[in-house]
Structure 1
Amino acid sequence: MGQLLVILAHPSISDSIANKTIVEGIQQKYPSAEVRDLTALYPDFKIDVAAEQQALKSADTVIFQYPFFWYNMPGILKHWCDEVLTFNFAYGPEGDQLKGKNFMASFTIGGPQDAYKATGYNHFRIEEFMKPIEQTAHLTQMNYFDPVYTHGMVYIEGVYNTVEGVTERAQAHLDRLFQQLDNIQG
């Protein structure tokens, strides 16, 4: 497998059940994968653009790993995109540094699947919320692969889910992610 880069955007990965399980599983299966924890690297949101662009250039496959926040990616990941995916690096007349690299999003969703449909309380399917990320991949000439996501990935003690249930769903998510990576890497 080529070089795998995981851009992790979680506000507190140490407190996470699902994202932590997924990232640890990636690191176990792919020990050479580079995981860039944006919150740990940039708690002040001051992105080292050169370092991030170099990590991207060294990668064959890029995964965004994050919890789904307010129908989108966490703020630090959006800020990272704004700062790192620049004109004449990622797009524009000379912006071909990401051309041909594989890209996919892997994210966890707290709410139930039934909430994400026209008659659900969020009104839209997850795929509809993913259009900006899909277009970003196309603009940067990356090979876009369908995202891997899982619902019901939040635990609120005594209110919603169990630790065991979230852990099981995270493991199933990880299995689907590995299958997708195996397909991508051929």
Structure 2
Amino acid sequence: MSLIILAHPAFDKSYANKTIIEEIKNSGMAVEIRNIHELYPDYQIDVKAEQEALLRHKTIVFQYPFYWYSMPAILKHWCDVVLEHQFAYGSKGDKLKGRNFLPSFTVGSPEDSYTALGFQHFRVHEFCKHLEQTAYHTQMNYIEPVYFYGTSLAAGYTENEIKTNAKQHAQRLLDKLAELG
């Protein structure tokens, strides 16, 4: 069974992330989903509960919208407090060793925006180095991210386009989870 750490500050209004989660729930695959915005609206994360959840699973998926070239603030805070010294790293911090670290996110802008000549100047995978380093630092297996572009109505995408692409994303994620066991 896999764990999904869902970090979307406006999940109920999201077409992309909400569709992805609905597709996963409806797939019949055994997953535990922890919506950390819902669990911790005050950002007072129950570290022990989160660590216990991590220990129950071989694969941990981090599902979120790509915000300002990174993750939403609550997910960064979650990493800061949950992946603590002597749990996730340090001389005795091997509790996550060998588990899979799988980022899964949605990107509002179009793909051509994330090129050397595009508006963002860099490709998305260049913004993922901190994720890869976090996985290595915690002795986890970094799995290449699953993501898709064009999730913003402001960028001209329609609700139907976003939902269709989100369903395809969910299927790619489910396929990856099945492959990882």
Instruction: Report the equivalent of 2:170.
Output: 174
The answer to whether the 8 A contact 2:7-2:63 is kept is yes
**Secondary structure at 2:102 match in 1:** strand
What is the identity percentage for the equivalent residue pairs of Structure 1 and Structure 2? 51
Tell me which amino acid in the other structure corresponds to 1:176.
R
Tell me which amino acid in the other structure corresponds to 2:114.
Y
**Secondary structure at 1:7 match in 2:** strand
In 2: Cα distance, 1:31 partner to 1:11 partner: 25
Instruction: Report the equivalent of 1:57.
Output: 55
Which consecutive aligned stretches of 4+ in structure 1 deviate over 6 angstroms post-superposition?
none
In 2: Cα distance, 1:91 partner to 1:30 partner: 34
Normalised to the residue count of structure 2, the TM-score between the two structures is 0.96
* Residue 20 of structure 1 pairs with residue 21 of structure 2: no
Instruction: Report the equivalent of 2:150.
Output: 152
In 2: Cα distance, 1:151 partner to 1:85 partner: 29
**Secondary structure at 1:114 match in 2:** helix
Q: 1:31: how far off?
A: 5.0
Tell me which amino acid in the other structure corresponds to 1:28.
N
Instruction: Report the equivalent of 1:67.
Output: 65
Normalised to the residue count of structure 1, the TM-score between the two structures is 0.94
Instruction: Report the equivalent of 2:91.
Output: 93
Instruction: Report the equivalent of 2:42.
Output: 44
* Structure 1: 5+ residue stretches without partners: none
In 2: Cα distance, 1:183 partner to 1:133 partner: 21
**Secondary structure at 2:81 match in 1:** helix
**Secondary structure at 2:122 match in 1:** coil
The answer to whether the 8 A contact 2:8-2:64 is kept is yes
Give the count of matched residue pairs: 181
What whole-Å deviation, never above 9, does each CA across 1:65-101 have from its counterpart, x for those lacking one? 0000000000000000000000000001000110011
